[in-house]
Chain A
Amino acid sequence: MAKVPVQFTLNGAEKAEFIDSGTTLLHALRDKIGDTSPKGGCHQGTCGACSVIIDGELRLSCLTLAETCNGAAITTTSGLSQGGVLHPLQRAFLDAFATQCGFCTPGMIIAAKVLLDHTPDPSRDEVVEALSGNICRCTGYEPIIQAVLTAARSNSQNAA
């Protein structure tokens, strides 16, 4: 299998790797780079557990080939905390008991981050829509929705 060079920014840090052509971004992140925050759930684009942000857009790393991300800026959940301080979304998920087994949590938080980046003060319906590509099978959606709304309120209070 041909190796191809791939360079991108991951959570603000430059990454340069040689990967097998055809490797998904999910595998490259988890198995090559060691960022295991995106989870491999369905590998079909259905569950959202592998969600990452690529150049500001929510994408599914299980369906994205790593070599198509050359030069891109990629953000995963592991890059959200700063200096050991949790991101407001991460804090809100913990405080609202919005994570049970935790498998869907990184994808949920990433989807929520994209929403709040573009819509800092979303309605409940906008939160539901933003999370509609992410499946949770144990926590239940209501605590997750409330956590996102809480984080949004926290953001707006900080900005005021």
Chain B
Amino acid sequence: MALALQNFSTVKDANAALKAAGTRYLGGGTLVVRAANEGDVSVSSLIRSTEPALSAITVSGSEVRIGASVTMAAIARHPDLTSLSHAARAVGGPAIRNMATVGGNLFAPAPYGDFTVALLALEAVVGTDDGEVPIEAFLAKRESNHAIVTSVDFSLPVDGGFRFLKVSRVKPKGVSVLSIAAVLEQAPDGTVSSAHIALGCMADRPMRAKAAEKALLGRKLTSDGIAPALAVASDGTSPITDPIASAWYRNEVLPVHLGRLLLA
């Protein structure tokens, strides 16, 4: 491996350096150093910023800002983010969680990127040195992003409003067959008034299950109530095939696991 690491105290300076050919941003290293170890010769130089804001978690009321360099382990142990700790703990084993960052997870290809599935359901906003972008738009064009991600912002869901499920074959920490995150709000009569559902491994990057979201509105979270949503759960999906599961299998089991999550 022939790499050179350049450290910058500000994101702005790091961003400028990142414009050079062959450079990649180094977060926790679980993606880019792995790529270099695997022989990715397109990486010749690594850029890193040590700006403190990148490592900060700020919670103000229900508003949360997580710096891009914050690790999964830091999220999992943060007292104000207990509703998300399950999703953060879904990422890798303990060592990976001490290294993998929020910013890096946004770029993790399927079957990785489980925490990004949670952020997508939470409708997070991705902050970059060039401005803020809704996460769905960011993910759609993440390969062409040339600005360093600095933070993710979102509102904490109401108590019990966030649900997350990672399905894996190897317990307790295999990679995902699929992952599902849902942010649900219910009216006083128990019907669903708002639904955001995000899926992992059902495309090359996390995606929203918009047909299922629409089908849930006005319905109760009962077997009969969620049936229309399960029927359209796979709409628009294009699952990956990997050694863990085929695309066919992922499509077959998605309604089963979505049903379990909604009825939990």
Contacts and interface: CB of A to CB of B under 8 A. Distances in A.
Contacts of A58: 94-95, 98
B2 A111 contact: no
B26 A65 contact: yes
Interface string A86-128: 0000000000000000000000000100100000000000001
A22 B38 contact: no
Interface string B1-16: 1111100000000000
B99 interface: yes
Interface in A1-57: 1-2, 4, 20-24, 43-45, 48, 51, 57
A146 B76 CA distance: 27
Interface residues of A, number: 31
B37 A64 contact: no
Given A128-B172, A129-B172, A60 B95 contact: yes
Interface stretch (A77-85, A130-138, A148-156): A130-138
A92 to B, nearest CB: 20
Interface in B192-219: none
Contacts of B26: 65
Interface residues on B, range: 20 to 34
B1, B28, B30, B93 interface centre (most CB from chain A within 10 Å): B93
Contact of A68 (B5, B34, B73, B93): B5
Nearest to A24: B33
Contact of B46 (A20, A22, A57, A133): A22
A63 B95 CA distance: 10
A62 interface: yes
A57 B37 CA distance: 22
B92 interface: yes
A23 B169 CA distance: 34
Nearest to B29: A63
Contacts of B73: 57
A109 to B, nearest CB: 13
A67 B50 CA distance: 13
Nearest to B43: A22
B98 A22 contact: no
A22 B92 contact: no
A59 B3 contact: no
Nearest to A43: B37
Contact of B96 (A1, A65, A130, A133): A133
A22 B4 contact: yes
A133 B95 contact: yes
B257 interface: no
Nearest to A50: B95
Q: Which 3 A-B pairs have the closest CB atoms?
A: A133-B93, A22-B3, A132-B173
17 contacts: A2-B4, A4-B5, A21-B3, A22-B5, A44-B34, A45-B95, A45-B96, A57-B98, A58-B98, A59-B98, A59-B99, A60-B99, A64-B99, A67-B5, A68-B48, A128-B172, A132-B94
